[in-house]
Amino acid sequence: MAFTVIIPARYSSSRLPGKPLADIGGHPMIRHVWNRAAESDAERVVVATDSEEVLARCSDFGAEAVMTDANHASGTDRLEEVVRRLALNDDAIVVNVQGDEPLIPPTLINQVAAALEENPDAAIATLCERITSAEDLFNPNVVKVVMDEAGRALYFSRAPIPWARGVFDNDQARDELPDTTDYYRHIGIYAYRVSLLRQFVEWHPAPPEQTESLEQLRALWHGARIQVAVARDTPPAGVDTPEDLERVRKAVAGQ
């Protein structure tokens, strides 16, 4: 199985400025992410950044990195710029590993690439995991996904879907999950066919995408098929806040 990993690493972050270079166990965060990706079966791992400083640090530890436009409207636009600059073929598979996932298991990178390769009618593949608490189901920051019987995404939402009619109609009954339905949280790792990325940047944002603030809904709106696999390993949470960074530092230190 041949695929390339691209790691977007934007320097700016409203909650954690300079996040890719945040120190974790004596190394910048981007090195930890790159190490995890390098442990996967990827033929090539490329960091995509808008920062000369990040570019220089990647060079220090031997990572391939490219500068990208700082004004991309979305992460997918940034990926398309990279695959264009790398001159990848339309049928090539690219896995997008977020630059703030220093603990991501390499097995998940391999799994999402395999899910796309094994489903030639899909343009994108991604992962999910079971939701086990009503708190997560009703949390709008936990994105939910509903699939068909073949594992293809029907819809992604910040709302609790599918809605358990007769159970959730009563606010007081929303503290437990019904035992008649499985609920799934979307895990934000994607594998793309390069041809899809080239189409994606030509599409206008879709109404559901703008309403939910979920970019993957643009692909569904335009008829692209997204294959969803249940993750074989539980991914640790990424780094969005200073508190997240401290948690990861402790995990790396074995505390």
What is the pLDDT averaged over residues 189-215? 96
49: three-class secondary structure by DSSP: strand
Q: What band does 172 get if pLDDT is binned at 50, 70 and 90? A: low
Residue holding tokens 């695959």? Answer: 83
Architecture (CATH level 2) of domain 3-240:
Alpha-Beta Complex (3.90)
pTM of the model: 0.93
Q: How far is CA 131 from CA 53, 136, 137, 185, in A?
A: 39, 7, 7, 6
Q: Are 12 and 39 in contact (CB under 8 A)?
A: no
d(Cα 6, Cα 94) in Å, to the nearest integer? 7
Distance, CA of 239 to CA of 101 (rounded, Å): 7
pLDDT in tens, 231-247: 999 888 889 888 999 99
Q: From residue 179, how far is each of 55, 88, 176, 183, 234 by CA, in Å?
A: 50, 46, 9, 10, 22
Report how far residue 24's alpha carbon sits from residue 14's, in angstroms, rounded to the nearest whole number: 19
More confident position, 237 or 135: 135
76 by DSSP, 3-state: which? helix
Q: Tell me the average pLDDT of the chain.
A: 93
Q: Is the pLDDT assigned to residue 194 strictly greater than 80?
A: yes
Q: Look up tokens 């097995």; give the residue.
A: 107
**For 56-71, how does the pLDDT look when each residue is reduced to its tens digit (9 = 90+)?**
999 999 999 999 988 8
Which amino acid is present at 232?
R
CB within 8 Å of 178: residues ≥ 6 apart: 164, 167
Q: Where are the domains of the chain?
A: 3-240
Rounded Cα–Cα distance for residues 215 and 206 (Å): 9
Structure confidence at residue 30 (pLDDT): 96
The pLDDT value given to residue 14: 66
Say what the pLDDT of residue 171 is. Answer: 67
